Every structure is written in C-alpha cells, then in structure tokens.
Amino acid sequence: MPTIQELERKLQSVRREVRNLTVMGMDPKQPADQLTLIKQLEISARAEQRLRKRALDYALSRTKS
C-alpha cells in the first residue's frame, strides 16, 4: 500500500494535469479534432483525480482507526 505522502503527491500531479488540460481546451486556436482529444483527456484525468482522492481518503481513514 502506498504511503499517504505518495498518494498526496499523485493527487497533486493529476490536479495539475487537469488544470493544464482545461487551459489547453480554452485556446480558440486549437483545431476541432485537437479540442475533442483534449476534452477526452480532461475527462479521463478528472476520473483519475476522483479515484486518487478516494484512495487518499481511505488511507487517511485507516490511519485514524
């Protein structure tokens, strides 16, 4: 099982990825096919973010018990 610090680091990393993809998706100069790909990547990164948050919450709850 990963440590809490590792889980926090991975969560922060995916949060940065979501933020970067969101900004990239707002660029009006991007071609339509590129915007579609960026949006799909953002959706995937947001799903990963939710799962990493759940993993961190679970690890924190186990340490408190």
pLDDT in tens, the chain (65 residues): 899 999 999 999 999 999 999 999 999 999 999 999 999 999 999 999 999 999 999 999 999 87
Please give the Cα distance from 53 to 50 (Å, whole number): 5
Residue 65's pLDDT is what?
73
Tell the burial category of 21 from Cβ atoms under 10 Å away from its Cβ (0-12, 13-18, 19+): buried
Q: What is the pLDDT at residue 28?
A: 92
